[in-house]
Amino acid sequence: MAFVSMKNYVFAALALGATSCLNVGPDTCNTTLLTPVTSVSGPKTIAVNQPAVYSLVYAPAGGCGTLANVAEQAAGNVRAVSVNVNYASCTCATTATLAQATYTFQPSQAGTYYLKFVGNNSYLIDTLVVQ
C-alpha cells in the first residue's frame, strides 16, 4: 500500500512540474531593439518652418518585427535618428524583408543641420541647409 501512495505522489509531482512551464506569465519574448538604417533619402535644402520628410529603409531581423518608433536626439544642429523595431513573438520567420519608415524634421531656425541616422557600426549622415 505504501508503494501505491508513493507512486501517486511521484505522478502528482511530475504532473505539476510539467504543467508549471505552460503558464510562464507575460510574453517574455516581446522586446524592442534598435535596428540599423540601410539607406536614407530626403531633401538637401528647405525653408524655415517647412517639414523635411526623409524615407528610411531598414531590415527587421525577422518576419515578426514591426516598427515601434523613430527616435530623435538633438544636440545643437545635430540630430541623431534611430529606428526601433518591436518583436512580439518568440518564433519569427528567418527571412527578413526591407521595411520603410519616415522621419520628419521641421526646423524653426535657419542654418546647416546634420542628420545622423544610426546604421551598421556607423552613421549615415545627411546635411540639410535651412534658409
> What DSSP element (H or E) covers 99?
strand 99-105
* Any domain includes 109: yes
Per residue in 56-112, pLDDT (tens digit) is: 999 888 778 889 999 999 999 999 999 999 988 787 777 678 999 999 999 999 999
pLDDT of residue 24 exceeding 60: no
* Any domain includes 13: no
Domain that holds residue 60: 31-130
* Any domain includes 18: no
* CB of 34 closer than 8 Å to CB of 119: no
* Any domain includes 15: no
Closest Cα to residue 122, out of 49, 13, 45, 37? 37
Please tell me the total count of domains within the chain.
1
* Any domain includes 8: no
Give the Cβ contact number of residue 83 at 10 Å.
26
Q: Report the predicted TM-score, pTM, of the whole model to 2 decimal places.
A: 0.75
